[in-house]
Structure 1
Amino acid sequence: MSQQLKKITESQCSGAPSKYNDLKVLFLNCTLNRTPVLSHTEGLIEVAKKVFEANGVTTKVIRPVDYVIPAGLGLDMSQTPEWEKDDWPMLQKEVDACDILVLCTSVWLGEKSSVCNRVLERMYGYTHQFNSKGQYRDYGKVGATLITGNEDGVKHCAMNILFSLSHIGYTVPPQADAGWMGEAGPGPSYRDEGSGGPENDFTNRNTTFLAWNCMHLARMLKDNGGIPAHGNQPDEWEAGCKAGFDSPEHKR
C-alpha cells in the first residue's frame, strides 16, 4: 500500500460509521499460476486486503488453481464415475464461511480466466440447496470482483462475474468491481517494475470504494439477518403460496 493510500485508509478508518471486525472476506484468486508462482492479480488483492484488515475484517486468499476442481455440477464429483478426487467441497466450505466473496481474475482473450469460470460453475452446482430460512443458500452474502491484465476486458469480465454472483443469490454493492489494465498487447503486467499499476490513482480509488461498500453492505445484511425471507422461498412457491399463480404440479 502506498503512503498516500495508507494515510487515506487511516483517516477513513478513524471515522468509520460501524465496526466490521466480525466480518470475513474470502478472495478467490483465479490466476492461472499455481503457488508460489507470481500472481499479478494478487498484487491488486493486497490493496483491498489491507483496507479490509485496517478495519479488523478477517481475510483469506485462496488460489483455486492449487486444487483439483473437476468439471461438473455435482456437489462432490469424486462420487461420480468420472473423477477420483474433488477438492471443491473443501473450498465450498470456505465460501460458505465468508460474509464477503471477492472473485478475482486475470483477463485472457477478453474473458475471465478458465479457472474463474470453473469456480462459478461449481458454485452454481450448489444453488439447489437452501439456507436456514428456506431461501437459496447464498442469500445474505456480498459479492464483488477484482481484475487485472494487459489487454481490454475489465468491465466485460466484471459484468459477467457480478451477474453470475447476483444470479445465485449474492448481493452486489455499488462500485463492486475494480481493475487495472496495462498497455494493450505484450506490455507490463500489474506487478512488473515500472508498470504504474500499484500507483494508479483510479485503480486504488475504485478498489478502496469496493472494500468499503462491501463492508457497509455486509454490515447491514448481518445486522438485519440477511435478506428478508418473504416472497423468495422456493418451497413456498412450489406449494402454491403465491398470488394469482398455480403451482406447476397443479396445472391441468
Structure 2
Amino acid sequence: MQYSAPAYPLMTSQRCSEIILSLGETAPSSYTDLKVLILNCTLNRTPLLSHTEGVISIARDVFASVGAACEILRPVDYDIAAGLGLDMSQTAEWTNDDWPEIQEKIDQCDILLLCTSVWLGEKSSVCNRVLERMYGYTHKVNARGQYHDYGKVGATVISGNEDGIKHCAMNILFSLSHIGYTIPPQADAGWVGEAGPGPSYLDPGSGGPENEFTNRNTTFLAWNCLHLARMLKDTGGYPAHGNVPSRWDAGCHQDLLNPEHRA
C-alpha cells in the first residue's frame, strides 16, 4: 500500500526562513530545470509524524525558493523486497516489489537526498534496504557507457535524539559516491538532541527548528547540491574518457550475483 506524502508547513525559524528567501531571490543561476528527490527513510509510515522530515523541510524550502522541482518520498510506504535484482517480483522468492517505481524516480532526478533517523547509532533499516536496492542497479550504464548514476548529486540529512549523525553520514555518502554519485562540500546535516532520552526535533521545546547550526548547515547542503548539479548539467556530466566499464574485463562474469561483477 502506498500513501500520499503529508503537506508539511514551513518548519524553520523565522530568521532561517528569511535567509532562505533572500538567498533564493539573489540566486546566481536558474535552477528551475533541476529535479530533486528526497528519500526520507523514517520508520514511520505516512501520515505519522516524521522528525526527519522536519529537518528535511529546511532543504526543501531552499529548493522551492529557486523553483527546483522537489519530491519527498517515504520508502517505508512501499513494499520493497530484499535482494539485488532489478525487480524482485520476477524471482521465485517475492510476489510483489515496488522498488522499480522508486528507482524510476531516482533515475529521473538530478539531486538525491538520502535521509534517515538514527537508531542504535546507525542509519535506519529502511535506509539500508534502499542502498541495497540502488546497489543492484550498478551494472546499468548511461548513454555514454558510464555507470548510470554518473552526473547525479548526492547528500544526506539525519535526525535523532542520540549521537550518530557523522557515523551515518560517512556510510551513506560513501555508498552514494561508490555507485557513481558526486558529493558536494558540506553534504551532510542534521539535528540530534541531548544524549539519552529527550525531545525529538519537532517536539515542543526541543529547540530543533531554531537551531542555527542545523539551519545553516542544511542550507549550505542544499545550495551546494544546486550549484554542483547546475555545473554537471551544464557541462553534460563527466567526460566518458577513462571511466567506461565496457573497456575492461576486470573479472566480470554474467553468472556472478554481485552487481559490480556483471558486465
For the pair shown, the structure with the greater C-alpha radius of gyration is 1
Deviations 1:11-64 (A, max 9, x none): 222322111110010000000000111100000111110011001110000000
Do residues 64 (structure 1) and 75 (structure 2) align? yes
TM-score, structure 1 normalization: 0.94
Report the 3-state secondary structure (helix = DSSP H, G, I; strand = E; otherwise coil) of the residue aligned with 2:248: helix
Unmatched segments (≥5 aa) in structure 2: 1-11, 253-263
Quote the residue 1:200 is aligned against.
211
Counterparts of 2:169 and 2:238 in 1: how far apart (Å)? 23
Counterparts of 2:220 and 2:251 in 1: how far apart (Å)? 44
Counterparts of 1:11 and 1:126 in 2: how far apart (Å)? 39
Question: Alpha carbons of 1:131 and 1:108: their partners in 2 closer, same or farther (altered >3 Å)?
Answer: same
Do residues 93 (structure 1) and 104 (structure 2) align? yes
Report the 3-state secondary structure (helix = DSSP H, G, I; strand = E; otherwise coil) of the residue aligned with 1:151: coil
Quote the residue 1:231 is aligned against.
242
- Give the superposed CA RMSD: 1.1
Quote the residue 2:169 is aligned against.
158
1:201-220 map, 5 Å: 201-220=212-231
Deviations 1:60-102 (A, max 9, x none): 0000000000110000000011000000001000101110000
TM-score, structure 2 normalization: 0.90
1:111 to 115, 122, 125: 122
Identity %: 73
Quote the residue 1:9 is aligned against.
20
Unmatched segments (≥5 aa) in structure 1: 239-246
1:163-178 map, 5 Å: 163-178=174-189
Counterparts of 2:124 and 2:251 in 1: how far apart (Å)? 38
Deviant stretches of 4+, over 4 Å: none
Deviations 1:127-186 (A, max 9, x none): 000000000010000000000000000000000000000000000000000000111122
Counterparts of 2:182 and 2:137 in 1: how far apart (Å)? 17
Counterparts of 1:185 and 1:39 in 2: how far apart (Å)? 19
Quote the residue 2:36 is aligned against.
25
Counterparts of 2:251 and 2:122 in 1: how far apart (Å)? 38
Report the 3-state secondary structure (helix = DSSP H, G, I; strand = E; otherwise coil) of the residue aligned with 1:143: strand
Paired amino acid for 2:86: L
Counterparts of 2:164 and 2:35 in 1: how far apart (Å)? 29
Q: Which piece of structure 1 moves more, 154-163 or 13-22?
A: 13-22
Paired amino acid for 1:128: H
